[in-house]
Amino acid sequence: MIEIHDLVVQFGGVKPIDGLTVQLTRPIVGLIGPNGAGKTTLLNVFSGFVEPRRGWVKVRGELITGIPAHKPPIWVCAAPSRPIRSPKI
Ligand SMILES: Nc1ncnc2c1ncn2[C@@H]1O[C@H](COP(=O)(O)OP(=O)(O)O)[C@@H](O)[C@H]1O
Ligand SMILES: [Mg+2]
């Protein structure tokens, strides 16, 4: 279960994620959208490379936003062209 609540990411005047709220109960196999839609930005929030301006993300009930990229939880997230977050497992 992945919960995303009122997520906002802003880069200067660009706001690729603006108040995203969604609960995902099934495995995700893909994320599609046009160039610049914010797909990579969302993955970067999961991996800790991007800090949201507002909102939070929980994976299996565990808050993963606000955790620095060098202090990973037990799961792994990687966005293309970024280093893979090293797992504790
Ligand atoms: N680190 C960043 N600094 C400034 N703007 C960024 C940064 N990352 C992404 N953006 C901007 O945010 C928007 C969404 O980008 P991105 O998440 O890469 O889209 P997608 O992966 O869906 O093509 C784009 O307008 C992009 O230029
Ligand atoms: Mg991308």
Domain boundaries, the chain: 1-89
| Average pLDDT score over residue span 4-18 | 97
Q: Which residue has the higher pLDDT, 49 or 8?
A: 8
Q: Which residue has the higher pLDDT, 89 or 47?
A: 47
Q: Which atom of ligand 1 is nearest to the CA of 42?
A: 17
Tokens of 49: 């490379």
Q: 3-state DSSP call for residue 43?
A: helix
Please report the pLDDT score of residue 82 as a whole number.
Answer: 56
CA atoms within 13 Å, Cβ hemisphere of 15: 8
Q: Which atom of ligand 1 is nearest to the CA of 44?
A: 17
According to CATH, the topology of domain 1-89 is: Rossmann fold (3.40.50)
Does the Cβ of 31 fall within 6 Å of ligand 1?
no
Ligand in nearest proximity to the CA of 33: 1
- The model carries a pTM of 0.84
Which residues are placed with Cβ below 5 angstroms of ligand 2, an ion?
A: 39-40
CA atoms within 13 Å, Cβ hemisphere of 50: 27
Please report the pLDDT score of residue 78 as a whole number.
Answer: 57
Report the run of H or E that residue 37 belongs to, with start and end: none
Please report the pLDDT score of residue 89 as a whole number.
Answer: 44
C-alpha to C-alpha distance for 88 and 76, rounded to whole angstroms = 9
Please write the tens of the pLDDT for every residue from 34-88. 999 999 999 999 888 899 999 999 988 889 898 877 776 655 555 555 555 555 5
